[in-house]
Amino acid sequence: MTESAQRGGGSSPHLDSPSARDLLSASAQLPWLTPSAISLTHLARCPAQCWPLLRHDPAAVLLLLRQSTSLSPHLPFTQALACRLPPLLIAAECLQAPSSGLLDWTQGAAKQLHTTCLQLAHLAEWLASRGRKICPIRAWCAGLLVPLGWLALAALNTSLDNSPLAERVLRRLTRAWQLPDWLVGVLEPLKLPPHIAEEVGSEATLLAVIRLAVRLAQSSGCSPLPQLLGDLEEDESLAGVRLVELPELPPCPVPPDNWWVNPYSESLLVDLMRLAIERRQQAEAASHDLLQKQLDDLHTALERQLASCAEQLRLSKLRALAEFAAGAGHEINNPLAVISGQAQYLLAHEADWFLDDEGHVRKALETIIGQTKRIHGLLRDLMQFARPAPARANWFDLPTLLGEIVASSQEFAACRSVRVEMSSPVERLAVLADREQVRTALVCLVRNAVEAAGAEGWVRLVLDSESDSHVAVLVEDSGRGPTKEQRPHLFDPFYSGRNAGRGRGLGLPVAWRLAREQGGDVWLEPERAGQPTRFVLSLPRHSLPPDQCQAA
């Protein structure tokens, strides 16, 4: 670095002059600002603990931030960045090339710039910690690198009194060095009005903190270059804090003694960095191999699990089919046995048909007809589950339908000494669905509840219309409820929770299927201590058309 550059002297080229264009071109080709050999040594030896040792080195912080997309406020800085290989790779590559971007941070203008960087970083971190809305490390990095354009001009051995040129250099370097977006969004629009800066992607709160830190440094006179960045407009909204409201400013931090050592003069530094790179690459390779093995193990476990699930599904289907076959066979075989027995009786007494004065023939024929109807009803219910008729949706009043079902269920319930009631009926509630299919589904649920309630029990229908998306009918009973083993099979055809033949086991499956035809569902609520067993039939809720609203 030349003596004139160290003093910050020399002529200031015009922005459109050839010398200015040459400087802009040279800045875009600048490979880096050279960190101290002490910083690079710490980065190579102990990256997880090096942040406190190199945070005062602007070039080292730049090295860490390059090619990083984010800086998480939830992770330690070194864990997020310093343990990555790119910083070391960049440094090793640059140190093997001819000396470039070198500043003696302890002499002349570079020393003054370094003091300004530390002051801005310290103020930004202090303000961020007071607001508790910004990561203090982000604020430190942004404040430290505000004079980036002037640092590059100093590294290029040129005058520091050309602010527009320094700003153009900064814009070129933020792109060339691939600095993270959040940092670019602070450095580039620093002088723009806040509302415009926010429109171009700046993080408004962080930008406000950095602007306030600059103004504090300028107003306090503690910076050796107070007018380096020019005047910022008075903005009382900066970081939500007014200057007059702030307490006494913290003192400017002082870097450690002898922190600057020219890395190009340390012959063994490149070897140390190469060893660190190789060690980390080996560690990453071992970690990669371990991850690959774990991935292979996961795939193997997944394949075994899928095979096990497929086998369990197959066995479950076979068990369901066996239950279905046993139930259907038993239900159909019983009336067929009666029909066969009565037919054999008639055949054996064929000669006595017209001599039978006691009505045995009539009774036998009536039995045959009754058992035939039983088979017909069974097959009808089975077809209603397997292939129900298409739903024909129309508007109807659900409370009225519930009242009809309660009334029609009284005789069936009375035979079993069960009381059926409707709780807190809603006056009117129109739903759009197939009325007969909804009736059938609810009758199935009520009959199931009556059978489960037991003698002297009760069944209650509750209409729940509080949801905006659906209407629910709750069918509660006083029974003990299905067991844990029975619950998974409640909606299986011919499963009644009892031995096959002691009930068709089609009520719940039919109710579920018909509810699904309406776009709704049927389910059993989880068991709750001290609460009744509750099945829920849910129907989608639709808006009434204007003519229906007027009629309602």
**Cα separation of 332 and 11, whole Å?**
108
Q: How, if at all, do strands 430-433 and 470-477 pair? A: unpaired
Query: Is the model's pLDDT at 498 over the cut of 70?
Result: no
CB atoms < 10 A from the CB of 281, how many? Answer: 13
CA neighbor of 25 nearest in space, from 151, 172, 175: 172
CA neighbor of 280 nearest in space, from 36, 96, 92, 137: 92
Q: Scanning the structure block, which residue is given the tokens 């795939």?
A: 299
Alpha helical stretches, state H, 71-145: 77, 85-96, 108-131, 136-144
| More confident of the two residues 517 and 326 | 517
Percentage of the chain exceeding pLDDT 70: 74
Digit-coded pLDDT (tens) for 105-128: 888 888 989 989 999 999 999 888
Report pLDDT for 65. 86
Whether the Cβ atoms of residue 92 and residue 246 lie closer than 8 Å to each other: no
Whether the Cβ atoms of residue 62 and residue 151 lie closer than 8 Å to each other: no
Report pLDDT for 337. 75
Digit-coded pLDDT (tens) for 427-475: 789 999 999 999 999 999 999 999 999 899 999 999 998 888 999 999 9
**Cα separation of 124 and 263, whole Å?**
29
Average pLDDT over residues 340-351: 69
Report pLDDT for 222. 56
Phi, psi dihedrals of residue 432, rounded to the nearest 5°: -110, 105
**Cα separation of 13 and 159, whole Å?**
9
When the pLDDT of each residue in the chain is averaged and rounded to a whole number, the result is 79
> 3-state DSSP: the chain helix, strand, coil percent, rounded to 5?
60, 5, 35
**Cα separation of 327 and 497, whole Å?**
11
Copy the structure tokens of residue 190.
């620093």
Query: Is the model's pLDDT at 342 over the cut of 80?
Result: no
Burial of 168-203, coded b for 16+ CB within 10 Å and e otherwise, reads bbbbbbbeebebbebbbbbbbbbeeebeebbeeebb
CA neighbor of 235 nearest in space, from 263, 204, 262: 204
Domain regions of the chain by residue span: 3-9+19-253+260-266, 293-386, 394-551
Do the two domains 293-386 and 394-551 of this chain adopt the same fold? no
Architecture of domain 293-386: Orthogonal Bundle (1.10)
Digit-coded pLDDT (tens) for 365-386: 777 777 777 777 777 776 767 6
Span of 20-29, 75-84, 131-140, 311-320 with lowest mean pLDDT: 75-84
Report pLDDT for 147. 92
**Amino acid in the structure at residue 170:** L
263 DSSP assignment: G
Burial of 323-350, coded b for 16+ CB within 10 Å and e otherwise, reads bbeebbeebeeebeebbeebeeebeeee
What CATH code would you report for 3-9+19-253+260-266? 1.10.3210
Whether the Cβ atoms of residue 213 and residue 120 lie closer than 8 Å to each other: yes
- Fold classification of 394-551 (topology level): Heat Shock Protein 90 (3.30.565)
Q: For residue 537, what are the CA distances in angstroms to 76, 78, 430, 452, 463? A: 53, 57, 16, 17, 10
> Which residues are bridge partners to 539 per DSSP?
471
Query: Is the model's pLDDT at 162 over the cut of 50?
Result: yes
Report pLDDT for 432. 94
